[in-house]
Amino acid sequence: MKYPLTNIMCRLPFILACSLLFFFPACYNFETEPYEWNSEDKVLSLQDSTENSAIKKLFYATYLDLPLLHIRLQSSSSYLDAATDDGVPTKSVGGNGSLDNYRNGLLSPGNIADLDGDAWDRNYSGIRRVNLFLEKIQLFPASTQLPVERIVRMKAEARLLRAYYYFELMKRWGGVPMLGDQVLDVNSDVHIPRSTIDEVSNYIISEISPDVTACPNSCFPDLHAAQSTASEDPTEIGHVNQGVALALLSRLKLYLASPLYNPSNNPDKWRDAANAADTLIKLGVYELYTGADMTKLFAMNASDFPHKEMIMIKEMGSNSAIEQKNSPSGYTYGTASGAQSTVRSEGATSPSQNLVDAFLMIDGRSIFVDYDPEKGIDPSVNYNPQNPYTNRDPRLARTVFHHNQRWLKRMIEVYDGGQDRGAVKGAVYTQTGYYLRKFLGDNTSTESYTALYHHYQIFRYAEILLNYAEAVNEYDPGNDAEITKGLIALRKRAGIRAGADARYGLPATYTQDLMRRIIRNERRIELAFEDHRFWDIRRWKICDEGDAVMTKPVRGVRITRDGTRFTYDYVDVRNSRFASHMYWYPIPRSEMQGNTNLVQNPGWNY
């Protein structure tokens, strides 16, 4: 059984696992601990000062618990957004996979699938690593290897990471136990009550705010200046900096202004969110990636990294595992020896028709009247459901594999009985008629997958532009220039046509509600499967209210072939249901059992 917080006490990155000792009848003098156990005191010898690599390893370990989007391929081998209206896990035929519990009502304190069911433990592990580092680094004098200014920066980075870990906890559970700088050990009282959302968020802000007058103990001044390119400071690539702090504040304040956190719709919170995003924008450090090959936004060679859209990343090695995991199921890939294999690509995620319909036409207009599926297809946009991928937003083909799209020198076949849907009996194929294209390299004309870097971009500049547009529309809905500038930049980058008015399909006049729909739709398609939709529909409270997106079916397409003619029929592939208590996660049962001062989130007492 795991207990709250205590199960992370021994997670020091440098402590080796030890074997059980066995009792020998002739021996009556027992060791109090295994002789070979490298304990804290032995590893962190004060005689070594900071020349000892262990203290640096402890610092780098503070980064270990950052999320890695592409390893969130759960037991159902898909992304978290496959638990929304944007898709389903391909392998969970019949809706019985762990991610499906978010839509079928079977989620419980004992079967949380996010982060392999370990988000609570993983984020507290990150917090403990930070607290341990901050405690131990105080014991060591500076050295030529680690001068004073570097130690100051390391401490600031660790505190920023701790703030991020608390945000990850807060967005799942609301108020959570807070540890301050305390390092728990086996003698600690772990029966720590939950703090409130306000207390957690105020702590995060106080730790990383650039406003040192209001937050005099903030680590912000001690962080490296915002930067994203190798030429500015190659030694800092991958490290958090002032740009990351501002991005975290932007996301945090946007959440705090949203309906789930701000039920009274206090406009000051929206203003704070807009100001936080604007502060980062006005740095002038970051910009949208506009390379000729847009696949390099997410899948790149060493020479393409880093680019200026990246704000915070978790680095990955060069490999083709993402291509193997996500490419359509009819393709095979090479073995490590280079020989062509019969191992099939997994096509792990099946994007929904709901998501495909959200993508714009090439002129920037929605296929629906007022961006509202309930109002039906807009006849003025010339959308043809029997020719659905013509004249669409180029982001559609960069995000979703659809019928007759080219990949590995052949056309994708997702019609019934095609190579990528039903050709081999017993194989697992897309459940919706689509596969996930995003994050993959350009393998259109190659014969095998190319090893590329797929660094997880925890924050990227596109999100900040969308944060700003959303916040301004909520507190200053008449400010067209500020609301639309980021949207126009994103649509221009995407390849949408400018139109005679150079508004890239944005209407000249609109209500606040219509612009809200436009911004939310833009966010959905621009940030698809980047771990936003799952949280956005919760903070907007539209899972069971408003658009009620999690009470409606997930839809797909069935394509049938008759000679050279293809017929498209649109069908329901998964039913969804959602209760109001599901906006927050249940605290894991093991944590409730170990901490008698924890109070479970309402509605999860089973």
* Confidence at 39, pLDDT banded by 50, 70, 90: low
Distance CA 494, CA 290 (A): 9
Looking at residue 29, its pLDDT comes to 42
Tell me how many helices (H) and strands (E) the chain has: 16, 14
* pLDDT over 60 at 266, yes or no: yes
Average pLDDT, the chain: 89
* Confidence at 24, pLDDT banded by 50, 70, 90: very low
* Confidence at 99, pLDDT banded by 50, 70, 90: confident
* pLDDT over 80 at 16, yes or no: no
Q: Which of 28-37, 102-111, 151-160, 305-314 has the lowest mean pLDDT?
A: 28-37
Distance CA 56, CA 596 (A): 36
Residue 250 near residue 467, CB atoms below 8 Å: yes
Looking at residue 28, its pLDDT comes to 38
* pLDDT over 70 at 48, yes or no: no
Distance CA 426, CA 411 (A): 22
Q: Tell me the per-residue pLDDT of 117-172, one tens digit each, with 9 for 90 and over.
A: 689 999 999 999 999 999 999 988 888 888 999 999 999 999 999 999 999 999 99
* Confidence at 55, pLDDT banded by 50, 70, 90: confident
Residue partners of 268: CB distance under 8 A and separation at least 6: 475
* pLDDT over 60 at 31, yes or no: no
Give CA separation, 304 vs 293, 311, 459, in Å.
Answer: 11, 15, 18
Question: Which one has a higher pLDDT value, 116 or 474?
Answer: 474
- The CATH fold assigned to 224-315+455-506 is 1.25.40
Mean local confidence (pLDDT), 210-231: 93
Looking at residue 10, its pLDDT comes to 40
* pLDDT over 70 at 504, yes or no: yes
Secondary-structure breakdown of the chain: helix, strand, coil percentages, each rounded to the nearest 5: 40, 10, 50
Provide the β-strand partners of residue 572.
555
**Cis amide linkage into residue 507, ω under 30° from 0:** no
**Amino acid identity, position 122:** R
Looking at residue 27, its pLDDT comes to 41
Give CA separation, 443 vs 276, 293, 301, 352, in Å.
Answer: 39, 12, 14, 23
* Confidence at 8, pLDDT banded by 50, 70, 90: very low
Count CB neighbours of 265 within 10 A: 12
Q: Say what percent of the chain tops pLDDT 90.
A: 74
CATH class of 1-66+116-211: mainly alpha
* pLDDT over 90 at 187, yes or no: no
Distance CA 34, CA 338 (A): 45
Question: Which one has a higher pLDDT value, 78 or 412?
Answer: 412
Q: Angle CA(166)–CA(167)–CA(172) in degrees, nearest 5?
A: 100
* Confidence at 11, pLDDT banded by 50, 70, 90: very low
**Amino acid identity, position 236:** E
Distance CA 198, CA 422 (A): 52
Positions of CATH 1.25.40.890 in the chain:
1-66+116-211
Residue partners of 47: CB distance under 8 A and separation at least 6: none
* Confidence at 246, pLDDT banded by 50, 70, 90: very high
* pLDDT over 60 at 12, yes or no: no
Count CB neighbours of 330 within 10 A: 25
Give CA separation, 141 vs 94, 133, 341, 408, in Å.
Answer: 60, 14, 56, 57
Residue 601 near residue 590, CB atoms below 8 Å: no
Residue 401 near residue 434, CB atoms below 8 Å: yes
* pLDDT over 80 at 284, yes or no: yes
Looking at residue 313, its pLDDT comes to 94
Looking at residue 447, its pLDDT comes to 83
Distance CA 291, CA 227 (A): 19
Mean local confidence (pLDDT), 412-438: 95
* pLDDT over 50 at 517, yes or no: yes
Question: Which one has a higher pLDDT value, 78 or 260?
Answer: 260
Provide the β-strand partners of residue 88.
350
DSSP state of 68: -
* pLDDT over 60 at 30, yes or no: no
Looking at residue 46, its pLDDT comes to 60
* Confidence at 44, pLDDT banded by 50, 70, 90: low
Residue partners of 195: CB distance under 8 A and separation at least 6: 175, 176, 177, 178, 203
DSSP state of 599: -
Distance CA 420, CA 425 (A): 12
Looking at residue 426, its pLDDT comes to 86
Mean local confidence (pLDDT), 300-307: 92
Tell me which residue has tokens 């028709």.
353
Tell me which residue has tokens 């956190």.
261
Q: Tell me the per-residue pLDDT of 310-367, one tens digit each, with 9 for 90 and over.
A: 999 999 889 998 999 999 999 988 654 445 567 889 999 999 999 999 999 999 999 9
Q: Tell me the per-residue pLDDT of 448-487, one tens digit each, with 9 for 90 and over.
A: 898 999 999 999 999 999 999 999 999 999 999 999 999 9
Give CA separation, 439 vs 99, 316, 434, in Å.
Answer: 20, 13, 15
